[in-house]
């Protein structure tokens, strides 16, 4: 009898997966057609993005256009393979020279960068408006002053510099920010401003202002896909998107839940299980502070964006496209996230039993749990419809978690709890 019940449950689960997969394929075909016919994405060429300089890891080996000045390409979208031939920014002689000079105290004239630039000048080629050795030395002195200014006062945008008198060297006009391109996956490629970017990397600055010159067509199409999704869901996606080029897209939830959680995990390391990860916001957050994350997401459309956005931020977290009940790995984690997910398993008797079995097998040090509101219409007729405190107690007992702490309420009125051993 038990064997027949399990076989029937597997059959129902397979049918549900097939239905979700078919719905996703139909949506993907519809959005692909609509997006490629419209392709109306427009970017503000003057917008400044504050990003982590460590994210700018590569540069183009071959120029993709005839433009001599990256700012002339601001807001453009280009198809093709121009973004594939790249090299590491750290391999540039200018970066190596700055590191030798500012970290190791090496004289400029002992670096490959100095020899190359001086050679060009002596061959009659103008470099940074330097026509002779003396002017080049003045330029190097200005670079040292720039380094000292940023070290003492922090990095400022060109607009801030222009209004503050913060060093003559940097005041080159508002167009003269660090410039980047964005490749097909969403990764930043260095375009211009190597001196300032080198200094920012050496000083391990958290963010610097950049402007985007060129975006790959496939990246622009992904934005269109996301906007189409948002239009079908009240104009918003579910979670914030952490990529700077997409962060302006509205979301149902903001950063409030992460603001509640972060103080309780700062200084920790370990593994995180995010159940119902959606597009991976919390995996991005946890990985950024040193955790190894596993994202479980059974909805094909959400898993599609989850993978795209993981690649865009060059993250390492693992993704499993399945129900948590279909996960076959060891259920041993430092932190488990169960945010607005477990109430879905109260709606049917079979799902409730699987939730109970999962919690009894789970081994975690800490859990962040967000229950539903019992009077929500979706819970009418559910197999179980616990009150908030009943649900917390159920989770606490089944997962063998001793301590419970209410962290606060999200904007939708749902509470966020921390449970721990």
Cβ-contact 331, 324 below 8 angstroms: no
Q: Are residues 283 and 137 in the same domain?
A: no
Q: What is the pLDDT of residue 274?
A: 98
Q: What is the pLDDT of residue 167?
A: 46
Q: Which long-range contacts (CB under 8 A, 24 or more apart) does 138-143 make?
A: 140/108, 140/114, 142/169, 143/98, 143/169, 143/195
- Decide if 4 is inside a domain: no
Q: Are residues 277 and 397 in the same domain?
A: yes
Q: Tell me whether strands 363-370 and 178-182 are parallel, antiparallel or unpaired.
A: unpaired
- Decide if 344 is inside a domain: yes
Give pLDDT < 50 ranges for the chain.
5, 9, 27, 31, 34-35, 37, 165-174
Q: What is the pLDDT of residue 41?
A: 65
Q: Are residues 346 and 405 in the same domain?
A: yes
Q: Are residues 197 and 246 in the same domain?
A: no
Between CA 41 and CA 35 the distance in angstroms is 9
Tokens read off for 205: 């600055």
The torsion of the CA quartet 320, 321, 322, 323, rounded to 10 degrees, works out to 80
Q: What is the pLDDT of residue 391?
A: 98
Between CA 195 and CA 169 the distance in angstroms is 12
Between CA 353 and CA 345 the distance in angstroms is 9
Q: Is 347 exposed, middle or buried (0-12, 13-18, 19+ CB in 10 A)?
A: middle
Number of domains in the chain: 2
| Domain finish residue from 179, 213, 247 | 213
Cβ-contact 136, 121 below 8 angstroms: yes
H or E element in which residue 406 lies: strand 403-409
- Decide if 228 is inside a domain: no
- Decide if 297 is inside a domain: yes
Q: What is the pLDDT of residue 157?
A: 79
- Decide if 158 is inside a domain: yes
The secondary structure of residue 211, as a DSSP letter, is E
- Decide if 35 is inside a domain: no
| Domain finish residue from 213, 244, 273 | 213
- Decide if 221 is inside a domain: no
Question: Cβ neighbours of residue 93 under 8 Å, at least 6 residues apart?
Answer: 111, 112, 113, 116
- Decide if 219 is inside a domain: no
Q: What is the pLDDT of residue 206?
A: 94
CATH of the domain at 416: 3.40.50.150
Q: What is the pTM of this model?
A: 0.84
Q: Are residues 337 and 297 in the same domain?
A: yes
Domain assignment of residue 115, given as a range: 49-213
């Amino acid at each position: 009898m038990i064997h027949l019940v399990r076989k029937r449950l597997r059959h129902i689960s397979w049918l549900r997966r097939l239905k979700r997969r078919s719905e996703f394929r139909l949506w993907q075909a519809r959005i692909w057609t609509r997006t490629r016919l419209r392709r109306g994405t427009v970017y503000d060429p003057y917008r400044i993005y504050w990003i982590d300089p460590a994210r700018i890891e590569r540069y183009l080996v071959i120029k993709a256009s005839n433009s001599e000045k990256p700012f002339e390409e601001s807001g453009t979208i280009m198809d093709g393979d121009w973004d594939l031939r790249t090299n590491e920014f750290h391999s540039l002689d200018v970066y190596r020279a700055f590191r030798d000079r500012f970290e190791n105290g090496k004289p400029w004239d002992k670096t490959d960068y100095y020899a190359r630039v001086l050679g060009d000048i002596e061959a009659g080629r103008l470099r940074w408006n330097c026509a002779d050795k003396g002017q080049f030395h003045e330029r190097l002195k200005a670079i040292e002053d720039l380094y000292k200014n940023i070290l003492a006062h922090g990095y400022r945008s060109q607009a801030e510099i222009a209004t503050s008198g913060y060093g003559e060297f940097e005041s080159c006009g508002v167009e003269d920010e660090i410039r980047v391109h964005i490749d097909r996956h969403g990764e930043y490629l260095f375009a211009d401003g190597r001196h300032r970017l080198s200094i920012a990397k050496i000083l391990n600055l958290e963010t610097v202002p950049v402007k985007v010159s060129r975006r790959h067509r496939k990246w622009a199409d992904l934005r269109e896909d996301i906007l189409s999704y948002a239009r079908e869901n009240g104009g918003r996606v579910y979670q914030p998107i952490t990529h700077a080029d997409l962060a302006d897209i509205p979301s149902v939830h903001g950063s409030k839940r992460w603001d509640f959680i972060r103080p309780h995990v700062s200084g920790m390391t370990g593994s995180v299980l995010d159940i119902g990860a959606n597009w991976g916001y919390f995996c991005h957050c946890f990985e950024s502070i040193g955790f190894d994350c596993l994202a479980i997401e059974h909805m094909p459309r959400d898993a599609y964006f989850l993978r795209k956005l993981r690649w865009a931020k060059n993250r390492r977290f693992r993704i499993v496209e399945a129900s948590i009940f279909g996960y076959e790995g060891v259920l041993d984690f430092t932190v488990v996230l169960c945010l607005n997910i477990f109430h879905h398993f109260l709606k049917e008797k079979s799902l409730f039993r699987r939730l109970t079995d999962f919690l009894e097998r789970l081994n975690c040090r800490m859990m962040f749990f967000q229950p539903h509101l019992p009077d929500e219409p979706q819970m009418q007729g559910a197999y179980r419809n616990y009150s908030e405190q009943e649900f917390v107690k159920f989770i606490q007992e089944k997962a063998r978690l001793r301590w419970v702490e209410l962290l606060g309420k999200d904007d939708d009125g749902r509470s966020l709890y921390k449970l721990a051993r």
